[in-house]
Amino acid sequence: MRIDYDQISGTLASLTKGESDVIALMATMACELHHADDRFDWTGFYRVTQPEILRIGPYQGGHGCLVIPFSRGVCGAAARTGQVQLLEDVNAFEGHIACASSTRSEIVLPVRGADGVLIGVLDIDSNQPGAFGSDDAAGLERLLRQTFGG
pLDDT in tens, 2-17: 999 999 999 999 999 9
Residue 100, pLDDT score: 67
Rounded Cα distance between 32 and 118, Å, is: 22
What are the tens digits of pLDDT across the range 94-129? Answer: 766 767 677 889 999 999 999 999 999 999 999 999
Nearest partner of 119 among 110, 108, 106, judged by Cα: 110
Dist CA 119 CA 6 (whole Å): 24
Please tell me the distance from the alpha carbon of residue 68 to that of residue 94, in angstroms, as a whole number: 15
- What average pLDDT does range 32-41 have in this prediction? 96
pTM for the complete prediction?
Answer: 0.95
Query: Residue 91 — pLDDT band, cuts 50, 70, 90?
Result: confident
Q: Are 39 and 125 in contact (CB under 8 A)?
A: no
Could you give the CA distance from residue 6 to residue 46 in angstroms, rounded to a whole number?
24
